Homo-oligomer: A and B are copies of this chain.
Amino acid sequence: MREPIDFYFDFTSPYGYFMSEKIDALAARFGRQVRWHPVLLGMVFKTTRTEPPVSVPLKGDYVKRDFARMARWLEVPFELPATFPIATQAAARTYYWLHDQDCALARRFAHAAFQALFRDGRDISAPATVVDIAAGLGVDAQALSAALQTDAVKARLKAENEAAMARGVFGAPYVIVDGEPFWGVDRLAQIERWLETGGF
């Protein structure tokens, strides 16, 4: 059995959301599993001296147009939320807390959180909103709310973020297939070819 594909993302990235809608099905076509890793791009951008694309002069207008066009290209429902970009600590911490109990549930939560933000326009920076989304999947809201306050849960996300950067993750989505890194949802066709042929 081959190593799973690694998929790094930040819940605030539309391109990460698009990848989240595609990567599992693509991997499954080649009999492969995917490990999901939410990260905080804000921390990564400190290392890379980078700003969120929407904050960059000239580039900001372009990427908003590109988000919508890429959504149409990939046939993924999408609407840019009113509050954007957002902090995603609560969603990412929830993901890892769930993952340590039930990794399939964590995956369902990740889809629900992305869709809440990019289909329903909900501001998932608010812990209460994240807890509400998780509760909709049957998660114990009180236990999750308490967990989000703990140092252990905070440290877990920090460690995951550092591990991602140690693997070279400087942006998102970032996908690693058998050691080969692909940055951006625009590399989907190359990822597909790599899975088909083992490299090109």
Which of B48, B58, B200 sits near A48, CB closer than 8 Å?
A: B58
Interface residues on A, range: 20 to 34
The distance in angstroms between the C-alpha atoms of A135 and B59, with both chains bound, is 38
The distance in angstroms between the C-alpha atoms of A48 and B54, with both chains bound, is 11
The distance in angstroms between the C-alpha atoms of A51 and B50, with both chains bound, is 9
Q: Is A2 an interface residue (CB 8 A)?
A: no
Q: Is A181 an interface residue (CB 8 A)?
A: yes
A62-99, CB < 8 A from B: 62, 65-66, 69, 72-73
Query: Given the interface contacts A51-B49, A168-B62, A186-B184, does A200 sit within 8 Å of B56 by beta carbon?
Result: no
Write the residues of chain A forming the contact surface with B, with a CB cutoff of 8 angstroms.
Answer: 44, 47-51, 56-59, 61-62, 65-66, 69, 72-73, 165, 168-171, 181, 183-184, 186-187, 189-190, 193, 200
